[in-house]
Amino acid sequence: MTHAKARQIVLAARPHGKPQLTDFRLEETGVPTPRAGQVLLKVRYLSLDPYMRGRMDDRQSYAQPVPLGGVMEGESVATVIASHHPSYAEGDIVLAKTGWCTHALSDRADLRKLDPAVAPVTTWLGVLGMPGFTAYAGVRLIGTPQPRDTVVVAAASGPVGSLVGQLAQLAGARAVGIAGGSEKCAFVQDELRFDAAVNHRAVDFPAQLAAACPNGIDVYFENVGGAIWQAVLPLLNPFARIPVCGLIAQYNGVGQGDGTDWLPATMRALLSKSLTLRGFIYTEFAEQHYAAFLREVGAGIADGRIRYREDIVDGLEQAPEAFIGMLEGRNFGKLIVRVDA
Ligand SMILES: NC(=O)c1ccc[n+]([C@@H]2O[C@H](COP(=O)([O-])OP(=O)(O)OC[C@H]3O[C@@H](n4cnc5c(N)ncnc54)[C@H](OP(=O)(O)O)[C@@H]3O)[C@@H](O)[C@H]2O)c1
């Protein structure tokens, strides 16, 4: 250890429902010294993502929970500030699974070197990173929109949803975005150029969604669950495809809100309309399809056909508040913490 200080945010308590600031703890530690085969990373940008809510619970899932007292999990863009690893040099910028902290050691083979000349480094956390690839995999490999299909996605201004609609349009489909509030809806329609945007906070949201989908829904990319699924269900066309990507409305474990059990209606629709409902985690497709995604979406960003928005918050200590806000829709675009740019 050197005398310099590092900071990290650990899981202090497991939340019951909505996370509270007291579920997190900011700690100061020494900056660790890398040994042979290791690099020392200084975090520049930390990604905050909805999946982190699941890691706070001690519950069976596709990934291990963060232990109590453990550093919150997360991916970041970091600079190598000391290297005892033959493949990395001081000054290299990498994508790394550091967690919520200012400094981290790594000896991992999964560090990815980033070239800032190719795209702004923050895009590797959003549109060119895990969320972007998730959109690509769900649309291209499960949703498979056809020309003139109607594709609907919620959390449409976020990193997954924004790319879902744009990829649907590139396939010749009509993209309808659902977002929380008029400012987000204006962005989805005017900046991302979706064909329509509907505010799920409007009292007549189901009627507005029906009006925006006069020919029904052929692909519903499920990001949210809860009340939005209820509004989508009657609009689904026979043989509709439903990539089930996320259920953010349910992550805090507060149920559907109105006490209605939508499973019987869902199962009835599955059967009577021959729907395809397919859950997925992006890792399933990464090995085979990540390179094609980078080529296609990277080119789309470079020539301006694909647009994205980032919401950058300053300071590691702001991460818990920003994360809690994301679970309530307070972020506007890919949520990133600038730790030390
Ligand atoms: N399967 C996978 O491999 C995979 C990978 C990445 C992400 N995901 C999932 O994809 C979804 C989108 O993720 P993202 O990274 O693009 O994040 P994101 O869009 O930034 O997610 C946050 C947004 O979700 C919406 N939201 C939050 N609580 C809501 C609620 N109760 N009801 C309705 N909307 C709510 C809000 O948007 P509005 O204000 O517009 O409602 C909020 O801004 C999440 O469910 C995530 O877990 C899955």
CA of 50 to the centre of ligand 1 (A): 6
Is the pTM of the predicted complex or chain greater than 0.75? yes
In terms of DSSP bridges, do strands 276-279 and 236-244 run parallel, antiparallel, or are they unpaired? parallel
**What is the total residue count of the chain?**
341
The C-alpha angle 90, 93, 94, rounded to 5 degrees, equals 115
The per-residue pLDDT for range 299-311, each reduced to its tens digit, is 999 999 999 999 9
* Cα–Cα distance measured from residue 46 to residue 296, given in angstroms and rounded to the nearest whole number: 25
DSSP strand pairing (310-314 vs 334-338)? parallel
Q: How many CB atoms lie within 10 A of CB 310?
A: 18
Tell me if 332 CB under 6 Å of ligand 1: no
pLDDT score of 118 more than 90: no
One-character DSSP codes across 180-236:
SSHHHHHIIIIIS--SEEEETTSTTHHHHHHHH-TT-EEEEEBSS-HHHHHHHGGGE
Indicate the DSSP class of residue 22: G
Instruction: Tell which atom from ligand 1 comes closest to the C-alpha of 311.
Output: 20
Range scoring the smallest mean pLDDT among 55-59, 106-110, 184-188, 329-333: 106-110
Give the bridge partners for 336, in sequence order: 47, 312
pLDDT of 201 over the 80 cut: yes
Beta bridge partners of 78: 43, 94
pLDDT score of 180 more than 90: yes
Q: What CA–CA distance (Å, rounded) separates 277 from 270?
A: 8
How many Å lie between the centroid of ligand 1 and the Cα of residue 138? 14
Q: What is the pLDDT of residue 1?
A: 47
Question: Would the pLDDT of 108 be above 80?
Answer: no
Q: What is the mean pLDDT of the chain?
A: 94
Which atom of ligand 1 lies nearest, measured to the CA of 250?
Answer: 31
What digits encode the pLDDT tens for the residues 46-86? 999 999 999 999 987 788 899 999 999 999 999 999 999 99
Residue 89 CB burial class (10 angstroms; 0-12, 13-18, ≥19): exposed
61 vs 18: CA distance, rounded Å: 19
Selection from 5, 160, 7, 11 nearest residue 73 by Cα: 11
CA terminus-to-terminus distance, the chain: 23
Q: Give the span between the Cα atoms of 47 and 70, in whole angstroms.
A: 17
* Residue 259 pLDDT grade (very low, low, confident, very high; cuts 50, 70, 90): low
**Position 22 pLDDT exceeds 60:** yes
Residue 256: the pLDDT is 46
| Residue 9 pLDDT level (bands cut at 50, 70, 90) | very high
Separation of CA 34 and ligand 1 centre (Å) = 36
Q: Give the pLDDT band (50/70/90) at residue 250.
A: confident
